[in-house]
Amino acid sequence: MELKFLQELGTQKAPALERLELDVSEFFPISIEHVVGHSFFKRPLPKLRILYLSQILFPWSLVPRGQLTQLIVSLDRETSIVNSKVSQHDDLDQLIGLLVDCPSLEVLTLENCLPAMLSNSSGGEQTIHLPRLSRLCLGGSNSRIMNLLKMLKLSSPPTLRLNCTSNKTVTHNRANYEILPFLSTHFNGPTPVKFRSLEINAGRVIDMVASTSLPMSSSPYTHVIQTDSDAELSLSFYRVVKLNRADIPRRVCDVLCLSNLDFLSVHSGSPNQSKNWSEVFQHCTEVTTVQVHGCGTIGLLQALTPPKLAITTACGRQRERKGGDNGRRAWAEAPRDDDNHGPAPVHVPIFPKLTSLTLESLDFTDAIPGFGVLYDLVLRAVQWRKANKTPLTTLWIERCVISEEQASALEKLVSGFQWHHVEGYYPSKEGDSEDYSSELGDSGDDHSDTSDPGVQ
């Protein structure tokens, strides 16, 4: 039915058409290379401004030039185009020629349709100037995305959404890091883009969304990241080697300007991923709201909390303070470093202006080395901030394993305490339910890149 409709479309005239959307509801894309002649219609489309094509393979030469302000082309998955009937859709020169001839573009989306030749291109040989571009969305293998980005010359940083798929054969997924210099240049120009909110989902697929504005609502359940939002930066990394899943968020944060960060949301269900959150966010002194979801975020909670205290005895020795003290004893001074005969470095919790904390999908009975159990860690964080006259004003506990006694103790310390207890809820002890892929990715991942060498 879709093919017949497209065949009939090529015989029609539409000189007054300003917007054209064609979306094929087929699992495999349909080729229209030999269905139409020199355009999608019988005659030119002088007034066409917006063109949206989904699940359609076509020669880039069919797209009208000059007047387009929005060009959106998407395929469900990036595949190797080897059939001669659709080879022109994989023609890099045709795509470059199209973009060069469309300087008025304001929105450009190319999802999983970038030519395979970009994988082996070094980029930069051809400059594509898009001075009006305000939104850029690219999806596909890392090499194709990066080599196209090297060709683009943009007058100002547009809203950027990149869905990057790693090549399995790249040692340690080096291609994941190739985007970092581009992000640094893109957002750290003469007037750096200062982000106020950051959302991280560090699961099998790594999603990151950074925005210069705050979320419309500070309520929980925000760990489902909307990567198609209007945020200035949306990143998704597919097929990431497990060794790098903790490292990628850290490196991305390193190249972004986060000194004005106010809102932070982190979703990580894998307890085995080592993240030095204190190092990542140590300069983010303006953060007031933090939302954490999953047992992989316990390291971040530790960074919010001073270490287990010591109580000095009459003989000058120190003993560990018991978790059941509940803050009734005075806080001890920093312990001495016997080797240097001076005070040991004092751990200062991050986010000194933190006032709102949301905890989701956590088990308060989990053992935390150096702190007792998770409940002790959270209690200590709340007590410390209250003692230092920077108390939490809001504490949300959602879908967590916590006793009524523990919840009551926290409620007495935080005026804006909310606990939505779900009877019988127990988060997984085995980490992220999606984190089942092998060291080099999940062979069943729908976002595979079967066109770059070695991926098949």
* Cα 412 from Cα 150, distance rounded (Å): 56
**What is the pLDDT at residue 236?**
92
**Token code pair at residue 22:** 């064609």
Residue 3's pLDDT is 54
Q: Comparing C-alpha atoms, which of 300, 186, 210 is closest to residue 262?
A: 210
Q: Which residue has the higher pLDDT, 182 or 279?
A: 182
pLDDT at 25: 76
Report the pLDDT value the prediction gives residue 272, as an integer from 0 to 100: 62
Name which residue leads in pLDDT, 172 or 44: 44
DSSP states of 93-116 as a string?
Answer: HHHHHHHHT-TT-SEEEEES---G
Mean pLDDT, rounded, for 399-405:
92
- Residue 444 pLDDT class (50, 70, 90 cuts): very low
Residue 422 pLDDT grade (very low, low, confident, very high; cuts 50, 70, 90) = low
**Cα–Cα dist 40/13, whole Å:** 10
User: 3-state DSSP call for residue 2?
Assistant: helix
Instruction: Give the separation between CA 246 and CA 259, rounded to whole angstroms.
Output: 21
Least confident of 17-21, 121-125, 212-216: 121-125
* Pair 270, 204: CB distance under 8 Å: no
Residue among 73, 143, 140, 145 at smallest CA distance from 102:
73
Rounded mean pLDDT of the chain?
77
Q: pLDDT at position 82, please?
A: 41
Q: What pLDDT is attached to residue 78?
A: 79
What pLDDT does residue 264 have?
95
The predicted-structure confidence for 355-377, as pLDDT tens digits, reads as follows 999 999 999 999 988 788 999 99
Cα dihedral 93, 96, 100, 103, rounded to 10, equals 150
The string of DSSP letters for 273-293 reads: ----HHHHTTT-TT--EEEEE
d(CA 32, CA 21): 15
DSSP 8-state secondary structure symbol assigned to residue 239 = S
pLDDT at residue 321, as a whole number: 43
**How are beta strands 310-312 and 318-320 bridged, if at all?**
antiparallel
User: Mean pLDDT over residues 66-88, rounded?
Assistant: 73
Q: Is the pLDDT of residue 338 over 60?
A: no
Confidence bin at 413 (pLDDT 50/70/90): very high
Confidence of residue 179 (pLDDT cuts 50, 70, 90): confident
Ranges 67-76, 269-278, 442-451: which has the least confidence? 442-451
> Taking the CA of residue 38 as centre, how many other CA atoms within 13 Å lie in the half-sphere pointing to its CB?
6
Most confident by average pLDDT, 32-36, 203-207, 352-356: 352-356
Write the single-letter amino acid at 380. R
Alpha helices of 83-221 — where are they, by DSSP H?
92-100, 142-151, 179-187
- Of 196-205, 231-240, 420-429, the range with the lowest mean pLDDT is 420-429
Separation in Å, CA 122 to CA 126, 139, 144, 160, 260: 10, 18, 10, 21, 35
pTM here?
Answer: 0.79
The average pLDDT across 122-142 equals 88
φ and ψ at 375, to 5 degrees? -60, -45
How many CA atoms does the CB half-sphere of 121 hold within 13 Å?
23
Within 10 angstroms of residue 97's Cβ, the number of other Cβ atoms is 17
Q: What is the pLDDT of residue 305?
A: 83
Tens of pLDDT, residues 44-60: 777 889 999 998 888 88
Residue 128: its pLDDT value, please?
94
- Tell me how far apart the alpha carbons of residues 372 and 445 are, in angstroms, rounded to a whole number: 39
- For 260, phi then psi, to 5°, come to -100, 10
**Tokens describing residue 233:** 């930066």
Kindly state the average pLDDT of the residues 81-110.
Answer: 81
List the single range of 178-182, 307-311, 377-381, 395-399 with lowest mean pLDDT: 307-311
For residue 5, name the pLDDT band (cuts at 50, 70, 90): low
The helix/strand/coil state of 217 is coil
CA distance 320 to 34: 78
Question: CA-to-CA distance for 103 and 100, rounded, in angstroms?
Answer: 6
What number of other Cβ atoms are within 10 A of residue 59's Cβ? 20
Is the four-CA dihedral 9, 15, 16, 17 of positive or negative sign? positive
Looking at residue 306, what is its pLDDT?
76
> Which amino acid would we find at residue 172?
H
Helix (H, G, I), strand (E, B) or coil at 310: strand
Cβ(223)–Cβ(208) below 8 Å: no
Res 393: pLDDT: 95
The answer on pLDDT for 158 being more than 70 is yes
